[in-house]
Structure 1
Amino acid sequence: MILVYGIKENLNPIKAKLSDVIHGCMQSVLGLPEDKRAHRFVPMQKEDFYYPSGRTDAYTVIEINMMAGRKPETQKALIKSLFHELESQLSLASIDVEITIKEQAPYQWGFRGITGDEAMRQMISSTKLTCR
């Protein structure tokens, strides 16, 4: 799940393209399939969105929630890919982007009626059955 915060006048016009860029990076770096996009956009009133000095009103915060287990090098590659693609495809300066990756243990995720660790066990079991 990815949450994106920004000032509504700046975020709303670019959110479809921003979603495409973010998901493209998730696919190329993490191998996520096309149908695993889960993005939530939080357009905010300027008076409700405080950010550090030296940033513009284009300041955008991206929070990436993922199951724990990916290597630090992979996470760093994702962050760097996002900075590069956001600047090249949306002209969003790196100074105006903050990216945070939040990891949770698989048992702390719930989807499709099961927890993440159960889904991982199912995936491993089906892979073993397929490989036999």
Structure 2
Amino acid sequence: MIVVYGIAAQLNPHKARLSEVIHGCMMEVLGLPEGKRAHRFVPLAADDFYYPSDRSPAYTVIEINMMEGRQVETKKALIKALFQRIESELAITPTDIEITIKEQPAHCWGFRGITGDEAQLNYAVHV
């Protein structure tokens, strides 16, 4: 699951396109299938979103929650792809993007009535 935070006036006009860009990177780098999109957007009032003084109001935070197992090189490739594609397709500079990957063991995930370590996934986690 991916959660994206930003100032509402900046984030709302870009939500659909940003979702496309993020999922495109997830498919390209991690091999996720087209239908495996779980994005949550949290548009905030400007007075509810404090950000570093050297960032603009376009400052956007992307939290990526995933099962552990991807190699360091794969995670770095994902982050770099996101920086590049968001800048080229949405004109949000890398300075205004913050990305964190949060990994949890498969047994800590629950979906479709089972835990992640019991699931038969149609994509690889150990890439």
> TM class by shorter-chain length?
over 0.9
Secondary structure of 1:34's counterpart equals: coil
Counterpart Cα distance in 2 of 1:101 and 1:88: 22
1:48 matched residue in structure 2: 48
Report the TM-score, using the length of structure 1 for normalisation. Answer: 0.91
2:35 matched residue in structure 1: 35
* 1:42-101 CA distance string (max 9 Å, x none): 000000101111100000000000000000000000000000000000001000000000
State the structure with bigger RCO (CA 8 A, min sep 6), 1 or 2.
2
1:1-132 alignment runs, 5 A limit = 1-119=1-119, 122-123=120-121
Distance 1:59 1:115, change over 3 A: same
Q: Aligned-pair distance for 1:123?
A: 4.9
Q: Aligned-pair distance for 1:113?
A: 0.5
1:129 matched residue in structure 2: none
Report the TM-score, using the length of structure 2 for normalisation. Answer: 0.94
1:127 matched residue in structure 2: none
After TM superposition, which residue ranges in structure 1, 4 or more long, deviate above 3 angstroms?
Answer: none
Counterpart Cα distance in 1 of 2:111 and 2:121: 14
Secondary structure of 1:58's counterpart equals: coil
2:125 matched residue in structure 1: none
- Alignment root-mean-square deviation, CA: 1.1
Gaps of 5+ in 2: 123-127
Secondary structure of 1:99's counterpart equals: strand
Counterpart Cα distance in 2 of 1:17 and 1:123: 27
Look at both structures and tell me which one has the larger radius of gyration over its CA atoms: 1
Counterpart Cα distance in 2 of 1:87 and 1:14: 12
What amino acid does structure 1 have at the position aligned with 2:102? K
Counterpart Cα distance in 1 of 2:85 and 2:113: 35
Distance 1:68 1:57, change over 3 A: same
Q: Aligned-pair distance for 1:10?
A: 0.4
